[in-house]
Amino acid sequence: MSIRNGKTAGKGSAGKKQIAARPFHYRGRELACDGISLEALAAEYGTPLYVYSAEQIRYRFGLFQQALAGREATVCYAVKANSSLAILRLLAEMGAGFDIVSGGELERVRRANKAALKRVVFSGAGKLVWEIDAALKAGILMFNVESEGELEVLAERAEALGIRARFALRVNPDVFAETHPYISTGLGEHKFGVAIGKARAIYRKTLRSKWLDAAGVSVHIGSQIRSVEPFAAALKRVVALVAELRSDGHMIRTVDAGGGLGVDYEETIGAGTFDPAREVAAYAAALDEAAGELNARLLVEPGRFIVAQAGGLLTRVSFVKKNGEKTFVIADAAMNDLIRPALYQAHHEILPVVKGRGATAPVDVVGPVCESGDFFAHDREMTRVKADELLLVLDAGAYGMSQSSNYNTRVRPAEVLVDGSEARLIRRRETLKELMAGEIL
């Protein structure tokens, strides 16, 4: 099932023309994604509906490849940002590695592109035995180990399976990065990694292990970071540690610099100040300077930066109501479909699919879930909208569908991927039957 727009542009055109920071734009008064009408998509697939641009995803991923071309490097997409099988396959075909944090994400990579398993790094502070076993059997590139206890379990499982485990210790560099506290990970107070000052002693314990291969060092300081300086500061500390580890006899071959490069959620379409190419170039230059003459493969783990602005959440207005001085625009999408505003107090621009006319007024854009926290925007200036009109919540391609739930027994949205002149369904809308299939009376 697909929609075509009659254009002649084909797949993979991202590197051959100027690409805007977002794939959404007005054609006349109507909003489109890469030329395909959002009105048409809503009519075909219903709402709420996630809409993604393959061209934008390819473009963003390609920026990292180009910026790091002068150094041995692998771009490992962070699967947790958006784990759609179609998006994983699209990236795998471009040579992406993958940063995973669960056995379920490992299985997603397997189903999307089995050959890409050898480019997987497995992060996360609480890996389970069955997940470790599955990753060992899959022959992944690296385990990013986050504690001494995990390292002991990894050695035990590697011996039991007769498979030598490559690992990098995730070190905590105690570098502060300006971001939301829920997604900051690089300070001593956080649950992730081990203190960088203790790392050398932990590595030394593995020197005589037959089943552990200390192949790398890993660091990750947080997400949605808009300054490159914290990334450089963290990597400099890792490079110094690598020199010490090599002097101890470890064959360190990779350095994982993590992810976390942020996007501009508050800029609306057409503003033109946020330049993805400039942002990635500055990030890569900072890492390159920090890495210096380091002779090791550099891994980076972008997720949000690749998919956030490539996607939007399409929703239809159910009702408009006034309570006293407040005006509420009640949409058919809710916090179970996109939890970022409720969870992180995150800002998302919201646009009418048919461009409004006249004066703006402050409204709250909310969903139907039985929670006062179910909102997309408070006191947002918008032109007048009516019931049955469509809205697009911008920059919802990351941590939208991947954090969705069935709260209030609501089915999760469908997903559509726009690729060149065609839009195709990549996840059908859940049904109530599917939602309750695992329950037992």
Q: What is the DSSP string of 395-412?
A: S-SSSSGGG---GGGPPP
From 1, 115, 359, 370, the catalytic residue: 370
**Taking every pair of C-alpha atoms in the chain, what is the biggest distance, in angstroms?**
74
The answer to whether residue 76 is catalytic is no
Omega within 30 of 0 (cis) for the link into 173: no
Backbone angles phi, psi at 85, to 5 degrees: -60, -40
Nearby residues of 18 by Cβ (< 8 Å), 6 or more positions away = none
Please give the DSSP secondary-structure letter assigned to residue 178. -
CA distance 337 to 387: 20
Omega within 30 of 0 (cis) for the link into 48: yes
CA distance 261 to 287: 12
3-class DSSP state for residue 296?
Answer: coil
Burial class (CB in 10 A: 0-12, 13-18, 19+), 185: buried
Q: Which two tokens stand for residue 139?
A: 């022959």
Catalytic positions, please? 370
